[in-house]
Amino acid sequence: MDLFDLYQQQQIRGQARDLRQTEENLSRNRRHTNDQVEETEERVDRLLLLCEAMWELITETTALTTEDLAAKAYELDMSDGNKDGRRQRMAVTCHCGAKINPKAGICQFCSAPAPERSAFEAV
Ligand SMILES: [Zn+2]
């Protein structure tokens, strides 16, 4: 075995070690992603259950119908100008005239607190 063979074997061992490390990292990332997906699915399931419970209470105690619900959902969906099944958070205008990022609590120019938002917009 000459010096070049030793060098090649050392390179191969190093690359095999790197490959094992990469596989371990991928496996860890996959488990983390699966945990996040599972947690999100549980949250969506809980949210759906609460929505169903609220809707049953509403229909049991008011004259509202599923058509009313669909019309309101359409109205809210279209309030941002896009029919995409969700409602985009819109920037609000500060008293100084600057637009405040929907996720920020204060104006980045004058530090004034953002105007009150609905409970859902604060989520
Ligand atoms: Zn401002």
Cα(101) to ligand 1 centroid in Å equals 11
Cα(82) to ligand 1 centroid in Å equals 28
Cα(87) to ligand 1 centroid in Å equals 24
- What is the chain's length? 123
pTM: 0.60
Structure tokens at 113: 């607190």
Cα(99) to ligand 1 centroid in Å equals 8
Query: pLDDT tens digits, residue range 76-97?
Result: 999 888 899 988 877 888 999 9
Cα(108) to ligand 1 centroid in Å equals 7
Give the span between the Cα atoms of 91 and 104, in whole angstroms.
10
Cα(104) to ligand 1 centroid in Å equals 12
Cα(117) to ligand 1 centroid in Å equals 16
pLDDT-based confidence at 123, cuts 50/70/90?
low
State the pLDDT at residue 70: 95
The mean per-residue pLDDT over the stretch 44-58 comes to 95
Query: pLDDT tens digits, residue range 21-46?
Result: 999 999 999 999 999 999 999 999 99
pLDDT-based confidence at 105, cuts 50/70/90?
confident
